Amino acid sequence: MGKKYIVKLDRESCIGAAACVAVQPDQWQIVDDGKVDFLNSKTDEKSKGWFVKEIDESELLKFKESAEVCPVNVIHIFEKDTGKKVV
């Protein structure tokens, strides 16, 4: 069994550049307010306006690419077990 990761989106700070959508349209979608929705994610009860999703190692590279192309760095990835920030 591979590592698990937590992907977090700070939706409130999103500017709607849609770079993440271009890289990974099956995970991100621009909606009516001009910001992205993180598809199949949950709201983070600890952080207002943040959305989270657990992924496995097979999804990591695509999510890393989404995070790295974001011009305002609102997509963050952490190792689930250690909490260490990946992106």
- Residue 20: CB partners within 8 Å, gap ≥ 6? 27, 28, 36, 66, 67, 69, 70, 75
CATH number 3.30.70.20 given to 4-79:
yes
Mean pLDDT of 45-62: 93
Residue whose C-alpha is closest to residue 9's, from 32, 31, 41, 33: 41
Q: Which amino acid is at 82?
A: T
Note the pLDDT tens digit of each residue in 72-82.
999 999 999 99
Q: pLDDT over 90 for what percent of the chain?
A: 91
49 pLDDT higher than 90: no
For the chain, the domains span 4-79
